[in-house]
Amino acid sequence: MTTPAFADSLASLRSRIAAAAHAAGRDPAAVTLVAVSKVQPEERIEAALAAGQLVFGENRVQEAQARWAERRAARPDLQLRLIGPLQTNKAKDAVRLFDVIETVDRAKLARSLAEAMAATGRRLDCLIQVNTGEEPQKAGAAPREVEDLYRLCTEECGLAVRGLMCIPPVEEPPALHFALLADLAGRLGLPVLSMGMSDDFETAVRYGMPLMVVCLNNQALGSEYYKFDAHKMKADLATVASPDLGAVGKAFGGRGRLVRSVDELRSATREFLENPAPTMLDVRISRSVITLPYRRIHYGRDE
């Protein structure tokens, strides 16, 4: 790809990121575009640099050393992020080369990174990689392990953990996994989420998710009212009467929908996750048969 063509593609990509950020009420400047440079030919790397791209992600330490060692000396404004699995025997090399390690996923690696940073005098920002789908072939801490790993990284090892990273399963809606990652980060007070690739980055950018209210309406006995906070994924329960709750949502400027089956509830929840907006769902089915789409992956347990 020529330099002008790459510059046009990069400008288009940044425009899409900005549009997604504005749609979610976010500042586009708060979104960092990481160009994954692994296995890319030299001419594409040079085209990216000429177009002003300065943040790059690499999967392997040795490959990154060959590609970036000389360029780093000439371009001190470069930022290199390790986004692939890291072996403990490569920790010191990684600390010397990279600015951010996004794939801290186990205690042994955290301790090796701490030792490497002490030995080199470099203190890097780190992210914990979360295997949100608990896929056996994929690296990352299970969601239920994240809090303990975070405490070990920060309290025992002294690592500067700034956020979380995930790569969702390819066969599942990414928004469900982005929701889980945002929930985990919120509970730990972490500001950085690294998520979203070529096919789903707009979903990741939009994930400044607003409120969804689900009312499980049993008519004669009143409604069971669940308020889900999108960032805390926490439900508050109260008893309310039985109006047309979908109409109430619309009356307040949001979306409203009457739901009469589990399939309709799944569809409505997915619609909300993919296109966030204040939403009221009036659910006229038994709570005992409801399985929300994110229930299976929430903290890796069937809850």
Compute how many other C-beta atoms are within 10 angstroms of the C-beta atom of residue 239. 9
In the 8-state DSSP scheme, what is residue 32? P
- Residue 4's SS3 state is helix
For 134-173, what is each residue's pLDDT tens digit? Answer: 998 899 999 999 999 999 999 999 999 999 998 888 877 7
Q: Answer for the pair 194, 57: CB distance below 8 angstroms, yes or no.
A: no
Q: Residue 112 in contact with residue 137, Cβ under 8 Å?
A: no
> Strands 212-217 and 223-228: what pairing?
antiparallel
* Residue that wins the pLDDT comparison between 238 and 61: 61
The residues, ordered by sequence, that sit 6+ positions from 72 with a Cβ below 8 Å of its Cβ are 78, 80, 97
The CATH number fitting domain 3-205, selected from 3.30.470.20, 3.10.620.30, 3.20.20.10, 3.30.360.10: 3.20.20.10
**How do residues 28-42 score in pLDDT, each as one tens digit?**
788 888 888 887 888
The position carrying tokens 């690592």 is 159
- Encode pLDDT of 95-137 as tens digits: 999 999 999 999 999 999 999 999 999 999 999 999 988 998 8
pLDDT score of 241: 46
> 80 Cβ partners below 8 Å, 6+ apart?
56, 57, 58, 64, 68, 72, 97, 98, 99, 100
Paired strand residues for 192: 163
Q: In angstroms, rounded to a whole number, what is the distance separating the alpha carbons of residues 29 and 5? A: 24
Under 8 Å between Cβ of 195 and 83 = no
What pLDDT does residue 224 have? 38
108-111 long-range contacts, CB within 8 A, separation 24+: 110/149, 110/152, 110/153, 110/156, 110/157, 110/159, 111/156, 111/157
**Tokens 């979360």 map to which residue?**
130
CA distance 58 to 36: 6
Residue 173: helix, strand or coil by DSSP?
coil
- As a whole-number percent, the residues of the chain with pLDDT over 70 amount to 70
pLDDT for res 211: 40
Render 227-249 in DSSP notation, one character per residue: EE-TTT--EEEEEE--S-HHHHH
What is the mean pLDDT of the segment spanning 256-264? Answer: 79
| 78 within 8 A of 46, measured Cβ to Cβ | no
Q: How confident is the model at residue 174 (pLDDT cuts 50, 70, 90)?
A: confident
How far apart are the C-alpha atoms of 252 and 49, rounded to whole Å? 48
Domains of the chain: which residue ranges?
3-205, 212-300
Q: Taking residues 195-220, what's their average pLDDT? A: 51
Pair of tokens at residue 186: 């919120």
Whether this prediction's pTM lies above 0.95 is answered by no
What pLDDT sits at residue 273? Answer: 66
What pLDDT band is residue 89 in, cutting at 50, 70 and 90? very high
Residue 225 has pLDDT above 50, yes or no: no
Q: Given this model, what pLDDT does residue 63 score?
A: 93
Local confidence band at 220 (pLDDT 50, 70, 90 cut-offs): very low
pLDDT at 259 over 90: no
